[in-house]
Amino acid sequence: MALDAAVASGLAAIAAAGDLEELKVVKSAHTGERSPLALANRAIGALPGPQKAAAGKAVGPRRGQLSAAIAARTEELRAAEEDRMLDQERVDLTLPIGRRQRGGRHPIESIQERIADFFLGLGWEIAEGPEVEAEWFNFDALNFKPDHPARQMQDTFYLAGDKNLVLRTHTSPVQARTLLEHGVPLYVAVPGKVFRTDALDATHTPVFHQVEGLAVDRGLTMANLVGTLDAFARAMFGPEARTRLRPSYFPFTEPSAEVDCRCMMCGGKGCRTCKGTGWLEILGSGMVHPNVLRMGGYDPEKVTGFAFGMGVDRLTMLKYGVDDLRLFFENDLRFLMQF
């Protein structure tokens, strides 16, 4: 009867085991060396011969019964563990993917690249230059007189301790450098950052972007300049884009002209964006001043050139109908993701 009680206790413990670790403890308690059935099995050796067979028949089947129960419970618990793991690792393919959003080009950088691609398509080269520039390249080589207002501290960032170094106020210094380094014919576009002591507001920022263009060759005229800028306007704003030139003044070009593009908001009818004129200013241009050609080592009697400079930030505003320049620099993803 004691053996039956031990088997019953073991079967109950096996059935109650909730996982493989608990079953391992139950197996040690009911079939291990110190379990009641193991002790009874060892005691068989001390019995008289006729009793050994009867005792063996009594103990052996009961130990087998517990071993079979443990094996069966092991399989049940393993199957349950596998099902639990599969349930935890299950992937619901209908759920939205929680991956990170992909980054993208900043709209100003994208427009700058489009401008560079346009001039590359014309066979021009792209040139770059230092943002910390010698005053001679930034002003003197471009025909700025010593008393020109742009040279004053209120317009230009001068480096502390060195009056001859400035943060370039335009990308035109690269034109001066390329004039000195290259021969005729010369066709280059110069994208880059420029710096001026402007207060930050809806249309101004102390750091902005420009693209300069310079062409020097034999026989170039204003007609070549107009044709280039008309083609650029159509590439940037669509086939219906039209441009016009207004007389202006720049130290490094003569004659000089501001270039307007027909307002893309109203089609030239007049609106708030163009202040009722039907036109929007997009860049400054002109024929390279003879003094600039001479400083670059060219004879203005033999070669001529045209140049222009455009604000990439302003072109981006016009392209996308944005009325506040600060939006491009606040890094608000709700705004930037629209582009």
Per the domain annotation, does 96 fall within a domain?
A: no
Q: Are residues 197 and 272 in the same domain?
A: yes
Per the domain annotation, does 209 fall within a domain?
A: yes
Please give the average per-residue pLDDT across 239-267, as a whole number. Answer: 86
Q: Half-sphere exposure (CA, 13 Å, Cβ side) for 254?
A: 10
Where a domain ends, among 56, 88, 120? Answer: 88
DSSP-derived letter for residue 324 is: -
Q: Are residues 70 and 118 in the same domain?
A: no
> Which pLDDT score, from 0 to 100, does residue 97 have?
74
Per the domain annotation, does 259 fall within a domain?
A: yes
Q: Are residues 83 and 114 in the same domain?
A: no
Per the domain annotation, does 102 fall within a domain?
A: no
Where a domain ends, among 88, 117, 145? Answer: 88
Q: Are residues 79 and 145 in the same domain?
A: no
> Which pLDDT score, from 0 to 100, does residue 116 have?
93
Per the domain annotation, does 33 fall within a domain?
A: yes
Q: Are residues 71 and 163 in the same domain?
A: no
Per the domain annotation, does 286 fall within a domain?
A: yes
CATH number of residue 149's parent domain: 3.30.930.10
Q: Are residues 127 and 69 in the same domain?
A: no
Q: State the average pLDDT for the chain.
A: 83
Strands (E) across 30-121 are located at none
Torsion of CA 244, 315, 213, 162, to 10 degrees: 130
CA 27 to chain centre: 61
> Which pLDDT score, from 0 to 100, does residue 285 have?
93
Q: Among 1-10, 97-106, 109-118, 289-298, whose mean pLDDT is lowest?
A: 1-10
Where a domain ends, among 53, 88, 123? Answer: 88
Is the whole model's pTM more than 0.85, yes or no? no
Q: Among 205-209, 224-228, 279-283, whose mean pLDDT is lowest?
A: 279-283
Q: Are residues 271 and 136 in the same domain?
A: yes
Per the domain annotation, does 99 fall within a domain?
A: no
Q: Are residues 135 and 74 in the same domain?
A: no
Q: Among 12-21, 42-51, 116-125, whose mean pLDDT is lowest?
A: 42-51
Q: Are residues 128 and 252 in the same domain?
A: yes
Q: Are residues 7 and 137 in the same domain?
A: no
Domain count, the chain: 2
The answer on pLDDT for 236 being more than 70 is: yes
Confidence of residue 1 (pLDDT cuts 50, 70, 90): very low
Query: CA 255, CA 224: separation in Å to the nearest integer?
Result: 14
Indicate the residue type of 17. A
Q: Are residues 182 and 289 in the same domain?
A: yes
Q: What is the pLDDT of residues 124-145, one digit of tens each?
A: 999 998 999 998 888 888 888 7
Q: Which domain holds residue 12?
A: 2-88
Per the domain annotation, does 332 fall within a domain?
A: yes
Q: What is the pLDDT of residues 26-50, one digit of tens each?
A: 777 777 766 766 666 666 656 666 6
Cross-strand partners of 310: 211, 283
Q: Are residues 36 and 168 in the same domain?
A: no
Query: CA 171, CA 175: separation in Å to the nearest integer?
Result: 8
What are the tokens at 256?
């000089």
> Which pLDDT score, from 0 to 100, does residue 70 have?
79
